[in-house]
A and B are shown apart, each in its own frame.
Chain A
Amino acid sequence: MNVAVTLQFAADKQKLPEVLDQLDTNLMSAGCPEEARMQLAVAVEEIFVNIANYAYSGKPGSATINIKADAHQAVICFADSGFPYDPLKKEDPNIEQAAEDRPIGGLGIFLVKEMSDEVRYERRGDMNILTIVKKY
């Protein structure tokens, strides 16, 4: 089944369970397999929490999540009107480092890239638009 929905959430990490529930329900309706649903949930968590933590600098704001999915691929688009920020410019972590040398954190956007086939960022007007595409 083709799914096309637009969801809006307060940019608050306490909303994460609701975000992930709605994502899972819609992906399941689209016929997305379980493994891909889990990987998309990881990517969506990282992006949503990034928006909640950083986009509005502690002030209230919102995040819009557009999901277009069918039995073969999902395209998920995030929009926020926070500070301009391209997370794809962040350097990938060194995943070969020993435990004691590895920094705590810094893996979020790396996981987004690993879980997706394509990740795009654009600044459109006063909006940050981040789009992930996953085929399955």
Chain B
Amino acid sequence: MTYEITNPPPDLMVLVKGRLDTLTSPQLESELEPSIAKSKSLVLDLADVDYLSSAGLRLLLTLQKRFKKEGGSFVLRNIQPGVMEILRMTGFLKILSVQ
């Protein structure tokens, strides 16, 4: 997994590439933390994410709760079909903002 910050805080945009799994999801969360702490909105571009496990779902839910609590916005963009199916079957499409 790699990522690129395409827009800085406070309107943070991040392009993520690769897999969001048990090992990489906590890594992404901790490495983005300094930027997230300074942001009122976050867009995660998942165009190059082809794999999402429950650890990835855990990260998305954590971010959703956090931005909602602080009155910010959290949006997922460019989701691939396989990842979209996982979000659908776990009910995540109903609780996340997707573009």
Interface set of A (CB-CB < 8 Å, partner B)? 13-14, 16-17, 20, 34-35, 38-39, 41-42, 45-46, 49, 95-100, 102, 104-105, 107-108, 110-111, 114
Contacts and interface: CB of A to CB of B under 8 A. Distances in A.
Interface residues of B, number: 26
A45 B58 CA distance: 14
Contacts of B21: 16, 20, 45
A128 to B, nearest CB: 19
Contacts, number: 66
Contacts of A96: 91, 94
B contacts with A: majority SS: helix
A42 B51 contact: yes
B61 A46 contact: no
Contacts of A20: 21
Contacts of B68: 99-100
Contact of B53 (A42, A100, A102): A42
Contacts of A98: 95
A114 B81 CA distance: 16
Contacts of B94: 96
